[in-house]
Amino acid sequence: MPWVRQCFTIRGPLVQFTKNIRRSVLLRSGAAALALAAISAGTAKAATVTLVESGSSLLYPLFNLWVPDFTAANPGIQVTTTSTGSGAGIAQATKGLIQVGASDAYMSDALVAKNPTMMSIPLAISAQAVNYNLPGLNDKHIKLSGPILAGIFSGKITEWNDPAIKAANPGVALPAHTIIPIHRLDGSGDTFIFTQYLSASTPSWKASPGFGTTVSWAAVPGEIGAKGNAGMLAAAAANPYSVTYIGVSYAAKVEAAGLGQAMLKNADGKYVLPTPETIAAAANSVVTDTPTDERISFIFADGPDSYPIANYEYAVVNSKQPDGATAGAIQTLLNWAITTGNSPTYLDKVHFLPLPTAIQILSKTQIAKVQ
């Protein structure tokens, strides 16, 4: 039964694979040190350091835009990018298997307490839309709130013409049809920020199921679990009367599929769409409160214009690197990412926003700690 063994040892080869990568990185950085010595001895020979970035599938497209331009500008540094998921990014960076972990969520207090040298460094700002497929209403931007969405995803609100939804949308002809909630099956930063919004706005959701990259979803009749943002989009497009949450980097595809985009109720009771202005307003509302380790959420942020589901996209990096060449390369990469990499040339393609200046300074201070 080879498939049985395959099924159980799938992580074996993976770990081995990443170990090999790390070994080659070590070898190369060793070679880099030698080459540096050679340079100081007067030989002008290019040294190469290889960095491995892995994690968030939301950040992956952005890293893919960044890397060719970054390596062109910095020929001594090679960057390998992979998309494995935020949890894997954090875990592998903590174990030292990779140099840069990409994550939609900052490391939790418990994880930081366990690994005090690990830092969460914001690179850019992302947001999430709540999309729906309501025949005839997809161009109307219906209004939804945290408690309404919590009701839908916990099975307490099952019809589109439920009094709570009607009250939020006076004058809109809501259909008497069962709501099909679609949630992510795989662990995801999108689930993390969506359930954070529900937890922050709805006490009963905070009590259970709470928030996380995966949560214990209540069984709702008709619900669908889909894999990845692409799966969410396909399921929503194929199922009229569905509602789902999709990262803004998919905005163009969501629009092409003809889905509706909901206005969400923020902490000030206003309904807002995810636009550059409302997302920036949310980010700006926490600038002064952001601690030096930059682990802060601006989900359900205060302010009349703040969009409620926006977040920092993080690089998770160990401040203690095995050698100076690797540390230097990480610093160069991350500093490039939050300056040149934050220009609209890159961010507009994935609908991300640049870091506010004050946050950029905090990120630079953290990056300088990588030794």
Q: Site residues (CB under 8 A) for another protein?
A: 1, 3-9, 84-88, 90-91, 105, 108-111, 113-114, 180, 185-188, 192, 208-214, 216-219, 221-227, 231, 234-235, 238-239, 242
Closest distance of CB 82 from another protein, Å: 13
Closest distance of CB 110 from another protein, Å: 4
Closest distance of CB 83 from another protein, Å: 11
Between 174 and 234, CB nearer to another protein: 234
What are the structure tokens assigned to 314, written together?
A: 């993080």
CA distances from 272 to 145, 162, 170, 286, 296 (A): 10, 21, 16, 18, 22
C-alpha to C-alpha distance for 164 and 145, rounded to whole angstroms: 10
254 CB-near residues (< 8 Å, 6+ apart): 129, 131, 233, 246, 261
Between 180 and 281, CB nearer to another protein: 180
Eight-class DSSP state of 178? B
Between 23 and 114, CB nearer to another protein: 114
Collapsed DSSP state (helix, strand, coil) of residue 291? coil
Closest distance of CB 194 from another protein, Å: 14
C-alpha to C-alpha distance for 209 and 150, rounded to whole angstroms: 10
Packing angle of the helix pair 324-338, 357-368 (nearest 10 deg): 180
Closest distance of CB 278 from another protein, Å: 26
Residue 340: φ, ψ to 5°? -55, -40
Between 108 and 345, CB nearer to another protein: 108
Cis before 209 (ω within 30): yes
Closest distance of CB 61 from another protein, Å: 18
Closest distance of CB 34 from another protein, Å: 35
Between 12 and 304, CB nearer to another protein: 12
Contact 172, 140 (CB under 8 A): yes
Q: Which of 12, 258, 360 is nearest to 368 (CA)?
A: 360
C-alpha to C-alpha distance for 237 and 219, rounded to whole angstroms: 22
Between 4 and 72, CB nearer to another protein: 4
Taking residue 69's Cβ as centre, other Cβ atoms within 10 Å add up to 14
Measured at the CA of 126, the angle between CA 120 and CA 128, to 5 degrees, comes to: 125
Closest distance of CB 201 from another protein, Å: 18
Contact 353, 283 (CB under 8 A): yes
Between 10 and 46, CB nearer to another protein: 10
Between 26 and 234, CB nearer to another protein: 234
CA torsion angle 17 21 26 29 (round to 10): 180
Closest distance of CB 238 from another protein, Å: 5
Between 175 and 276, CB nearer to another protein: 175
